[in-house]
Amino acid sequence: MYNSPMEINNDFLNRFRDNSGKKPHKKQVKELPGEVVERNGTRFLVTTTSKTFNGFTLPEREFFDKSYSDSLELLYGIRDNKKKTIADRGIRNLHDAKNNEKFSDEARRILSALAKDIHAVKDILGARFSPSHRLFFLLCAFFKPEELLFIDIETKSLFFETSIIEIGCGYFEGKKFTVKQFTCLKDAAEYEVLEEFGKLLHGKKAFVTFNGRTFDIPFIDNRISYYGGISSAADIPGMHNFDLLHFSRCCFRNEYDSYRLKSMEVNLLGKERDGDIEGSEVEIYYNNYIESGDPAFLEPIVYHNREDILAMVELFERIFDRWV
């Protein structure tokens, strides 16, 4: 039976909305923080900011190769104790192992990957180490800073059956780090935002994310599949991903109680954000913005996302300092 006009009771509607009942705090902002782009009848916001990072570098390739060939653990069955035993027998790295009858074949195979490409090296590492291992981080030696794309997304919920609100990206041009953020101004603009994001992938070879392995990357993947594919973003599956959450946990093991980005920022970087919102509050602010059109609800989302990306660059540097 249909009733017209259709009445839908609020109980039903609220089950599909954020119902935490939290009221957002408005900032005193009058204008949208960026440039409004209209396409296909939908609108999204492009926010571009930049910051200089003087000290950002990536390790030299020789450094990686040395760390790699020093890792006797890449040999099957070699762990800490065994390592000492064979070190006493004069095997201190894989090159030494090449000359040992027992390890020769395996050591040659492992070292030969270095002459191939990053995928061959990744396969060797993946067979012996967890993805949070230092050597996985050091794979950044295979890239130039200009080839990295830092990304962070804001979404309506943790599930990809709901949509993306904003994609923030950061990339280097020399010492200049540019943050480009695409924010849906209507729910309808998600596809266009993904398309814009796809265009930024040109010339990029690796993502840097915080928890992107389980969240950001699969989320983006699934949203693209939802629309049946987006040609500009076709290169995503070939991109390498440096997930800083996993490296932080490993690099600063037992040093902190929490490895959330915000607490790392406070405890490791010694920074506190001014009036920032929680990731879980994004959807509340966004809903208020959609309902009222008041930019004061949107600005905190853009700010939050940008700060996350900038914090990722600094975190990357700290891990670099510790491990390189």
Task: Judge whether 285 and 277 are in contact, CB under 8 Å.
Answer: yes
Phi then psi dihedrals of residue 152, to 5 deg: -155, 130
CB of 199 to another protein, least distance (A): 18
Closest approach, Cβ 236 to another protein, in A, equals 13
Distance CA 136, CA 140 (A): 8
Token output for 107: 């050591």
1 is a site residue for another protein (CB under 8 A): yes
If one asks whether residue 190 binds another protein (CB under 8 A), the answer comes out as yes
* Binders in 14-43 for another protein, by CB under 8 A: 15-18, 40-42
Residue 130 engages another protein in binding (rule: CB under 8 A) = no
Cβ of residue 62: shortest distance to another protein, in angstroms? 39
In angstroms, what is the minimal distance from the CB of 63 to another protein?
A: 36
What is the closest distance, in whole angstroms, from the C-beta atom of residue 292 to another protein in the complex? 12
> Do 65 and 195 meet the contact criterion of CB atoms below 8 Å apart?
no
What number of other Cβ atoms are within 10 A of residue 226's Cβ?
15
> How large is the greatest C-alpha to C-alpha distance in the chain, in angstroms?
86
162 is a site residue for another protein (CB under 8 A):
yes
CB of 264 to another protein, least distance (A): 27
**H or E element at residue 261:** helix 261-267
Does position 280 bind another protein by CB under 8 A? no
With binding defined as CB under 8 A, does residue 231 bind another protein? no
Token code pair at residue 274: 């001014």
- Burial of 111-142, coded b for 16+ CB within 10 Å and e otherwise, reads bebbeeeeeebbebbeeeeebbbbbbbbbbbb
Q: Of the candidates 21, 90, 228, 270, which one interacts with another protein according to CB under 8 A?
A: 228
Report how far apart, in Å, the C-alpha atoms of 208 and of each of 105, 247, 257 are: 35, 11, 23
Q: Which is nearer to another protein, 10 or 52 (CB)?
A: 10
Q: Residue count at the site for another protein (CB under 8 A)? A: 41
- Closest to another protein by CB, 188 vs 277, is 188
Secondary structure letter of residue 280 according to DSSP: G
5 binds another protein, rule: CB under 8 A: yes
Give whichever of 68 and 191 is closer to another protein, judged by the CB atom: 191
Q: How far is the CB of 195 from another protein (least distance, A)?
A: 11
| Candidate list 196, 265, 283, 307; residue touching another protein; CB under 8 A | 283
By CB under 8 A, is residue 237 in contact with another protein?
no
Give the span between the Cα atoms of 190 and 183, in whole angstroms: 8
The answer to whether the CB of 318 falls within 8 A of the CB of 52 is: no
User: Tokens at residue 27, please?
Assistant: 């900032």
Closest CA to 170 of 314, 317, 313: 313
Return the structure tokens found at 276: 């920032």
Which of 39/116 has CB closer to another protein?
Answer: 39
Near another protein by CB under 8 A, which window of 8-16, 73-81, 136-144, 172-180?
Answer: 8-16
Binds another protein by CB under 8 A, chosen from 48, 85, 104, 157: 157
Q: Minimal CA–CA distance to 44: which of 232, 187, 149, 162?
A: 187
Quick check: 304 binds another protein (CB under 8 A)?
no
Tell me which residues touch another protein (CB under 8 A): 1-9, 11-13, 15-18, 40-42, 156-157, 159-163, 186-191, 222, 225-228, 283, 287, 290-291
